[in-house]
Structures are given as structure tokens and as C-alpha cells.
Structure 1
Amino acid sequence: MQEVNIKVISRCRPLNLREIQNGSQSILDCNKNLAQVSVKLPARKEQTSEGQIEGEQARTFQFDMVYGEDATNQELFTESFRPVVHAFVEGQNGCIFAYGQTGAGKTFTMSGNGTQPGCMPSSFNYIFEYISQQPSTVSISVRASCIEIYNERITDLISQQTDLRIRQKPEQAIYIENLSEHSCGTKEDLQKILEKGYRNQCIEATKMGQCSSRSHTMFIIKLEKTEVVNGEKVCKLSTLKMIDLAGSERPEISRFKESMMINKSLASLYVVVSKLASQAPHIPYRDSQLTRLMQDALDGNSKTMLVALISPASQNYEETLSTLRFADQVKKIPNQQINKPQIKQESNQLAINQEYLEQK
């Protein structure tokens, strides 16, 4: 069976206290065994002639994996995220991105908390466990960066440089000009970079009146693996992007301009996904900074996973259905549309280092 480059999973959080107090009912049924999630319209307030509250038939979505309210972060990592991270340490590009409305659990799933490490801390641990198991003939270096996309502006959350530009040289990967990259020798080093990025995001939030749910956060890890194959040095370069997208809810009237900019970015992502799903001849990756940076994750040069975070609350029906529809579109991207992930190998180490310096 052909390996699928883009996989889609869904995760539903429990009802929170506020939703319970507001009388919200659960509208979701998550079946892990069938990898299906069903969403039903909230019951209408008016009654039928028989005196019963009228409901409507549920819609069912099929994904690669579905997680219900009891799922743990460790469960998600072991079953779904770890294969992407393993492919990355073996030399393939990887991408894990979280999509859903604010409060659906994106940041918890990606970052976690003190008792439940999320996708990113678990990935850091796996990367350095892998490195520790390599023979002495293998040399691996790790670099990390953290950026924010807010109002179509790219900010380096470590150096705090803003208005960074996306560049691409002929026949080379897309990269961010002047983005700082920080050498990491332990999982703790990666965690420090992540925490500093989130702290600086909060500083900017105070200055600009934004919050984390209003911007896209992307943590980028680059791995360079050098080993001896048949007496010759071979270098593999791979990149892992872990993305916590802005909340996908409808625009707020009070912050309409800002909300529309966020919506434009997510709408561009939806258009790109829809075009890929329909095998359109032109894919508008350049319509937003987000889609430009996610191009390699969507065009087949990456092992990619979407985690769609959804709320079970009846009051969030529209946003939940919208998230599931987006995930369904990603799932419809045909296998033949995307290329197999490429393992980048070069025998000329000097050429690789020179290419890296030029991009810097």
C-alpha cells in the first residue's frame, strides 16, 4: 500500500465548566475504532406536532485517527505524532500543524502542561533519545528557530527581529531571510528556545493588544546528519515544522481589521488545500505568508500531519463543523498529487555548509 504523506487526525476536548453552566450539550460522537467523528445539529427550541424537540441527522467524518475526551497527550504522540518525528530524524522533512477555534485545545496539544507534555516537548525528547542511540560514526547537529506570523508580518520570537522576508533561490527550499537559528545539544536546549519564543510572544501581545490565539506560531527544527556510507561522508538535511495556528473562529466586530487579517491567512490556507484536493493546475501558495511557509508541507516534500481540535459544546457548533470540513478537505488531497518525501543526501559537505551560509 502506498504511504500517505498527509494524514489527518481529530481530537475532541471535554466540555468545560463554563459550557456546562451555560447548559451546553455535547454534539459530538468520537469513535476511535472506526476513526470517525459525528457531529449533530443542536436540537431546535421549537417542538414538532408530536411535542418532541426536533433535531437533525448527524454528519460523519472519516479521518486517519480520532481521539475523544479521554485521550492523553502521550497517547496522541505515541500513536500519531511519533511517526512524523521519526521520519524527520531519519532525513525526511516533517510538519505537524494544529487547526481549530480558540479554546479547542491547540496549544495544550502542541505544548502541553506540567503533567502532560505536548507534541513539541515529547518530540524534543524523542529526537535526543534517537541521537543518543546512534553509533560513533554518525554525527548529528540540531538547530532551532521560533517565529510568529501576525497581520502578515513574520517576527523572529528569539531575536525579536520583525518584518522578516521569505526567500527562495532557484531549485532550493523556501527559507526566511535573517532568521536566527540556535544550536541545541540537549532536549532542554530545545525547550528553552520554545519557552523563550512564547515569552516574547506574550511581550508583543502586551504591546500590541494581541494574544496567542490571534497569531500563528511556528517552531522550526533543522537536523543535519552526517555518516559514512561505503567509505564516503553523506549528509542528510531535514526540517521539522510544528505549527500552532491562530483560532479559526469568525471575525470579531470589535477587532474587525485584525480578525479579517487572521481570517485572510486561514482562508488562503483553505483555498490552497481545496485546490490541492481538486488537483487544480495552479496552487496559490503566495497568497499569504502562512501558505508560503507551509508550501513544502502541503506539496509532497514532507511527511505532514494535521490535528483538528474540536469542541463538543452545542454553542460551538458552527466553528466545530467548520474545523471538520477543513480537515475533510485536507483528507481529500489525493495521494498521486503529492510527491514522495525526499531524503536530501550530499557527499560534498563543503557545498552543503556553503549553501547554509548563503541562506543565512
Structure 2
Amino acid sequence: MIAKEKVAEEAATTEANALAVLAAKEMNATNGLATSTFLVCARMRPAFETELAEGGENFECVLKTTCTEEGAEEATVLLPKISLTGIPKIERSSFLFDHTFGPGATNDDIFAALGRPLVAKTFAGEVGVIFAYGQTGSGKTFTMSAIMDRVVTELFPSDGTAPRAVRFSYLEVLGSSVHDCLDASKLADVQIGEALDGRVLTRNLSSHDVDSAAALERLIEVAKSRRATAPTERNATSSRSHGVGILTVAQPGFAIDDVEAPRAGVLMVIDLAGSERAADSMGHDKKRMDETKAVNLSLMALKDCIRARTLASIAAAGEKVFVPYRRTKLTLLMKDVFDISCSRLCSTVVLSCVSPLAKDAPHTLNTLGYAAPLRVAVRTAPAGPMERDERDPALWAHEKAVTWLAATAKAPMHDAVDVSDGDGYVGLAGFDAEAVIPGMSGLELCRMAEAELHLRIKKQVPGKEGAALGARVHAALWMLICDAKTRRRRPNGNLVTEEEEAEEARKTEEAAAKKNALWKEREASLAAGSTLDAAASMASRM
């Protein structure tokens, strides 16, 4: 039966197809710019000769099959079963992904389709995250290690290109504890929290500036050697923690901590702990059971965050989407990916790794069933046409984008560098907004890398003034983008105006005031009643 299945001819997704899918994802939001995108993929490791030689259930039953849906690829599990009447049958389960990599796909194929685009986005100052999910022994750590090795090559090319400033940290999340894998001398756990301005802060986590591929490779090997592992039935060195490698990459010619530089890009390479079902943990002791419970809870929280953030890209029809990224340490560390108000583009790759063997089919079905629903949101957009949001910069025509940029480029009086134009602001003499965004639409302006925007502005306004202006323009633009993402709509798709929001707020305050007055009246009545009862009781005793 398996041999008769029509298997896709290509074992790996091409880099061109991967870029096309990624571009489509970035245009997928129905309420403005898609500021956080998710690629959901599957990889089937090859069956080893030693496994096939054992016979029994050690045969391949997971395939990459053809798919009729555009922009999707299919993974199929063919599970032999015996019916109640004793008739053998094949139970087929198919799952759709953005990319599916068959057993013939190499690590180079995986990196070309998934890793290299993330590195390019990191170079542009964006946030990139890639993580692997699956049962122990499915190839997660093997895949993530290979991706990290190739990231090193991209960061420090051998063609003579001047490398950028790079900073590296590595931590492991083990339940509610977080440990630094690069500095064993630190006794205190790593603390992850939020600053008043919303930034994620880490305490007791070492950061290492690296200037060569060899230096970064040494740190990666140290981190790997210090991760928590334990033997399981399927893997003698199963990862019992989530390993998170964090690479911060500066813009060319700038140091990472340079206050005048555009923000550095961030790339997270995450090797999740192996998932386990209840049947797999029957032989565990209490400590191992607690670890399994913590791993499964964090994986469910990660799934909930991805689903909620995907929903946030759909016009919410007046309903606010809550993304529970504060539920676990791992999702809090990934806050930029999940926070709707994050002021830069984020891209995440979810790679589910599975074994092709029939004996692992229950695990495989569980893994694919976990990952596949993340590819699409579970709720549709409001019925009927939606009202156009004229305040959304992603919808602006070129002329409106130029007008906005020219107006925003005016500096407050105390930052004056040129003559006043008489309206309380100082015009930047010679500043040409058209030259900054020639022929570009609002969407193209929104998707422009922060470093590129800084560079174009500094061509006209050099020095610190240009750096400050670039930062101010970028911040103002992203405030509009985030406002558009969270702007309320009616169930029919119409926008809730500022006047309507103010009226709703006024009515809410009035209702609260009436309720408070009613409670005060009741309290006064109860107090008066208690006084009368006390007086009557005293009179009866006299």
C-alpha cells in the first residue's frame, strides 16, 4: 500500500519556494501589516539501517505526499491496523504544512529554505526565531545543531566580507528554572522579566562578544556540553531542557551598544526538550515525572501563544486577543514574537521533527497534530467587506506616505538645527521626503528595514541629528502600525471611531459611579439599621 502512494518527487523545498511562501505570509494580515509571521514545517528523519534490520514495526509509514492546496505541502502517516472483523487496513492521516521535508532532505536543504531567510532578516534588524519540536530521538537536536553551524558560516563569511559585531548567549529552561550554559561559575539562576517600557530583561545571563567563527563555535560547544540530558527508552542523551541560543547582530559599521546605531537584529535558535506521552513516562521516577510535566506545560503554553498571535493578525471585530506569553519563562523570553505592540518585524519557524517508523506512529501523529493547526488561525475574518482604516500606514498611497514623512521630520524647537518655519517647529532645510521613499507606498515604507531608513535619512541629515531623526521617524511609524493592529472593529467589520470609544468610556464611568453610589447608600442604610437595633435593644433592657 505504501509503495502505491504518490510521493512528491522533490525531497526538499527549494529556497525560491520558501521565499515565496514567506512573502505571502507577510501579506496575510487583514488588519494592517503582518508584523509577526509563522512558518510551520515538518521534517521526517530517514530510517536507519539498524532500525529496519530489527523488523516488526520498524518500517517506514510517514511520507511526503502531493498536495493540491497552493502554498502548502503535505505529510501523511499510513498506519497498518486490524479492523474489529479481523480485516487488515491502512489508516491514513494527512497534515498540511507550509513546508514538508522528506527523508531525503539534507541539512543544507533545511537551512536554505528556513535558516538563511531568518539570518537575512536578522541582518535587517528584525527578530528571527526557529525552534524544533518532536519526540526524543526524532532529530531535533541534530537539526538545530546543523542550523546553528550554518548560521556561524553566514555571520562570518570566508569571502573577505567584513563581519558584523556579534554577541552570543545560551541558556536552558528547565521547568521554572533558567540556567546560563556559558558561565558555570554563576550560582544564581537566570532571571527573566520586563522593564517598565516593556523590554524583556535578563539578569545573571552572560553575554559574549565574538569576532570570529572559531570563537563562536567554541562557545556553542561549551553550551551543548552543559545542557541537561537524561537517558530515556528512545535516547540515551535525551534533552530534558529547552536550549536557547541568542545571537545579537549589529548593523555594519556599528557596535552593538552604539546609541546612535539602528537596533541590532536578534536570532534565537531553540532546541525544545523532547515531548513525551503518558505511556512513555510510566517508568520515570518522581523527578523525571516532574520534568516531563514541566516540559509538556511549557509546550502547551507555546502552542497557545502562537495560535493567539496568529488570531491577532485577523481583524478582531472589536474583540481583543490575549496572548499569554507571560505564562512561562520561554514564552516571556520570546515576547517580541508574541506582543502585538512590538515595534519591529518578527519571523518564527516551527519545525516539527518526526520518526518515519511505524512503531513511533503514535508519537508522530501527536507531533504533527500539535504543529499542523498552528499553520492557520481557527477564526475567520468578519463577514462582508471591512471598512478601510485610513490611519493605517500600510494602506497609504505614495503621496500620503511622503506627506506624513515630511511632517514627521520636523524637529521640536529644543532640537533645532536650522531656521524656524514659524509654526513652533523647526523645518529641516533641504530635507526631501520624496528622496527617502521614492515612489514607495505606505506598505513598502512599513516593511523597510530600520537600518535602511536610518541610512536614507542620514544622507540628508548627517551626524547625531540624523541618527536621532531616524530613530524618531521609525518610532512614530511603528506607533501607527501598532495602533492599526489593535484598533477595534464592530462585528460587521466597521471601525470603532475615537468619538464612539470616548462615548463608551463615558457610559462605563457613569455606570461605575452609579454602582458606587448605590453601594454607599446601602452601607449607610445598613449602618443606620444597626444603630436603631442597638438602641431598641438597650431600651428593652432598662
Normalised by the shorter chain, which TM-score bucket? 0.7 to 0.9
2:175 maps to 151
- 5 Å-filtered alignment, 1:330-345, equals 330-333=374-377, 343=449
Separation of aligned partners in 1, 2:380 and 2:125: 22
CA deviations on 1:254-294 (whole Å, 9 max, x unpaired) are: 13222111111112212223333455721211111112122
Aligned residue identity for 1:119 = I
Separation of aligned partners in 2, 1:276 and 1:236: 23
1:257 maps to 290
1:238 maps to 265
Q: Residues 309 and 299 from structure 1, CA distance in 2 versus in 1: closer, same or farther, beyond 3 angstroms?
A: farther
In the alignment, structure 1 residue 102 sits paired with structure 2 residue 128: no
Separation of aligned partners in 1, 2:107 and 2:356: 18
Aligned residue identity for 2:262 = C
2:327 maps to 287
Q: Do the aligned residues in 2 keep the contact of 1:45 with 1:53 (CA within 8 Å)?
A: yes
2:387 maps to none
Residue 234 (structure 1) shift: 3.8
Aligned residue identity for 2:90 = G
2:102 maps to 68
- 5 Å-filtered alignment, 1:69-218, equals 69-111=103-145, 118-129=146-157, 132-133=160-161, 140-160=164-184, 161=186, 162-201=188-227, 212-218=238-244
Separation of aligned partners in 2, 1:201 and 1:277: 31
Residue 247 (structure 1) shift: 0.6
Q: Which has the larger radius of gyration?
A: 2
Q: Do the aligned residues in 2 keep the contact of 1:273 with 1:333 (CA within 8 Å)?
A: no
Residue 313 (structure 1) shift: 1.4
In the alignment, structure 1 residue 53 sits paired with structure 2 residue 92: no
Q: Which has the higher contact order (CA 8 A, sep 6+)?
A: 1
Aligned residue identity for 2:47 = L
Separation of aligned partners in 2, 1:256 and 1:288: 18
Identical columns (%): 28
Q: Residues 329 and 292 from structure 1, CA distance in 2 versus in 1: closer, same or farther, beyond 3 angstroms?
A: farther
Aligned residue identity for 2:102 = G
Q: Do the aligned residues in 2 keep the contact of 1:168 with 1:175 (CA within 8 Å)?
A: yes
Separation of aligned partners in 2, 1:205 and 1:36: 33
Separation of aligned partners in 1, 2:380 and 2:155: 30
Q: Do the aligned residues in 2 keep the contact of 1:6 with 1:298 (CA within 8 Å)?
A: no
Q: Do the aligned residues in 2 keep the contact of 1:89 with 1:127 (CA within 8 Å)?
A: no
2:41 maps to 9
Aligned residue identity for 1:79 = A
Residue 220 (structure 1) shift: 0.6
1:322 maps to 366
2:348 to 304, 314, 321: 304
Q: Do the aligned residues in 2 keep the contact of 1:226 with 1:236 (CA within 8 Å)?
A: no
1:272 to 293, 300, 305: 305
Q: Do the aligned residues in 2 keep the contact of 1:201 with 1:212 (CA within 8 Å)?
A: no
Separation of aligned partners in 2, 1:259 and 1:313: 23
Unaligned runs of 5+ in 2: 1-22, 27-36, 313-319, 382-393, 395-445, 455-466, 472-542
CA deviations on 1:19-44 (whole Å, 9 max, x unpaired) are: 6515223221213786211123x222
Q: Structure 1 stretch 322-331 or stretch 100-109: which is displaced more?
A: 322-331
Separation of aligned partners in 2, 1:264 and 1:321: 19
CA deviations on 1:49-104 (whole Å, 9 max, x unpaired) are: xx741232x22222221111111101111122111111111211111111111011
TM value normalised by structure 2: 0.55
SS in 2 for 1:286: coil
SS in 1 for 2:263: strand
SS in 1 for 2:90: coil
1:39 maps to 77
CA deviations on 1:197-225 (whole Å, 9 max, x unpaired) are: 111226x869xxx9552110011101122
Aligned residue identity for 1:180 = S
Aligned residue identity for 1:297 = V
1:115 maps to none
Q: Do the aligned residues in 1 keep the contact of 2:124 with 2:450 (CA within 8 Å)?
A: no
Residue 295 (structure 1) shift: 2.6
Residue 45 (structure 1) shift: 3.5
Aligned positions, number:
327
Unaligned runs of 5+ in 1: 112-117, 352-360
Runs of 4 or more, structure 1, over 6 Å off, are: 334-337, 339-342
Residue 175 (structure 1) shift: 2.8
Q: Structure 1 stretch 139-148 or stretch 295-304: which is displaced more?
A: 295-304
Aligned residue identity for 1:237 = A
- Root-mean-square deviation over aligned CA pairs: 3.2
Aligned residue identity for 2:271 = D
SS in 1 for 2:138: coil
Separation of aligned partners in 2, 1:61 and 1:260: 26
Separation of aligned partners in 1, 2:52 and 2:207: 42
